[in-house]
Amino acid sequence: MSMLVTGGGGFLGRYIVEQLLLLGEEVRILSRQRYPELEQLGVECVQGDLRDNDAVERAVNGCEVVFHVAAIAGIWGRWPDYYGINVQGTKNILAACQKLGVARLVYCSSPSVTFDGTDQKGVNESAPYPEKWLAHYPHSKALAEQMVLSADQPGSLRTCALRPHLIWGPRDQHLIPRLIDRAKTGKLRVVGDGKNLVDMVFVENAAAAHIQAAGALLCSPEQVGGKAYFITQGAPVRLWDWINEILALEEIAPVRKRVSANVAYYAGAMMETAYKMVGRMNEEPRMTRFLARQLATHHYFDISAARHDLGYVPHVSTEEGMRRLGEELASRG
């Protein structure tokens, strides 16, 4: 069975590719660059941009299942960039799937599509989309998610969306390196009281959830089709304790300096205004409103639906994941 992974050369995408290969599946990826190491494993690489209809159709053609993982992430940037990749790109993927007879599509969404800047304590998928957005990324992902779920059609394309929260693990080139770099340069501050609980998910668990979702769309489409699912470790942690555990793996002193949640929020608002005024849209401010709220609030989720409908179980524990992460960081020297 031929399967497409958009963004298959990225962090999560590559783990999905590797797990599919272990299952003996034929795998193709759509990405903006070549990945010779994946080609050597037998992966077919299609180069192209999600905004290019022709490239998208070349990638989708002949595939039974599509895992749409590619996206532009971040807390800052221009709306046309987020809209073009995350919304228009998803629209192109859906159109190609419908035109070329793809049976199943699993979309990688984000829990931030329900984040309104306030605490989220054990919320489930009934949580609504917010009326106002603190960043372009969650806004664009929410628009794309709604398109994907609306595209679910019995007897035709079946779709679902997964919302993995704070994906981490070996080979991460974004979250972990940024934390370490900011800590080394003295730019990290505990925002708020430091007691906020958050959910996260080890990357291998997040990848496995996508494959389980594709299976569930085949075996129980009426139960899964058109639905979104939170994906986490199922055991929230204190955010700042967890960050300090990561820093300890690199023998970096724990973060002790603090800033109040309100001060961080208003500092973020001022920085956003200043950066917009001088046209610094390609340079991420040190603080934004969205980041301030993410660092200070509780956000953990009820994953009962994923457990029940998808058979999802986070097989790699947080403790085991941290051990593997520590080994990888040590190997980097």
What pLDDT is recorded for position 282?
A: 87
Q: pLDDT tens digits for 193-219?
A: 999 999 999 999 999 999 999 999 999
Q: Where are the alpha helices (DSSP H) in the chain?
A: 11-22, 36-39, 53-60, 79-82, 89-100, 136-150, 175-184, 203-219, 221-224, 239-249, 261-277, 289-296, 304-305, 318-332
Which stretches of the chain score pLDDT less than 70?
333
Distance in angstroms between the alpha carbons of the first and the last residue of the chain: 40
In sequence order, what are the residues at sequence separation of 6 or more whose Cβ sits closer than 8 angstroms to the Cβ of residue 56? 30, 48, 50, 89, 92, 93, 95, 96
In sequence order, what are the residues at sequence separation of 6 or more whose Cβ sits closer than 8 angstroms to the Cβ of residue 24? none
Of 277, 10, 255, nearest in space to 285 by CA: 277
Q: C-alpha 155: how far from its chain's center?
A: 29
Q: At what angle do helices 89-100 and 53-60 cross, to 10 degrees?
A: 50
CA distance 167 to 12: 8
Of 229, 240, 237, 139, nearest in space to 189 by CA: 240
Burial (CB < 10 A; 0-12, 13-18, 19+), residue 226, is middle
CA distance 272 to 82: 17
Domains contained in the chain, CATH given: 2-165+200-232+300-316 (3.40.50.720)
Q: pLDDT tens digits for 68-108?
A: 999 999 999 999 999 999 999 999 999 999 999 999 999 99
What the block records as the tokens of 151 is 């595209």
- pTM of the predicted structure, to 2 decimals: 0.96
Active-site residue identified among 15, 35, 107, 137: 137
Task: Give residue for tokens 């730019």.
Answer: 187
Is 137 catalytic? The answer is: yes
What pLDDT is recorded for position 332?
A: 81
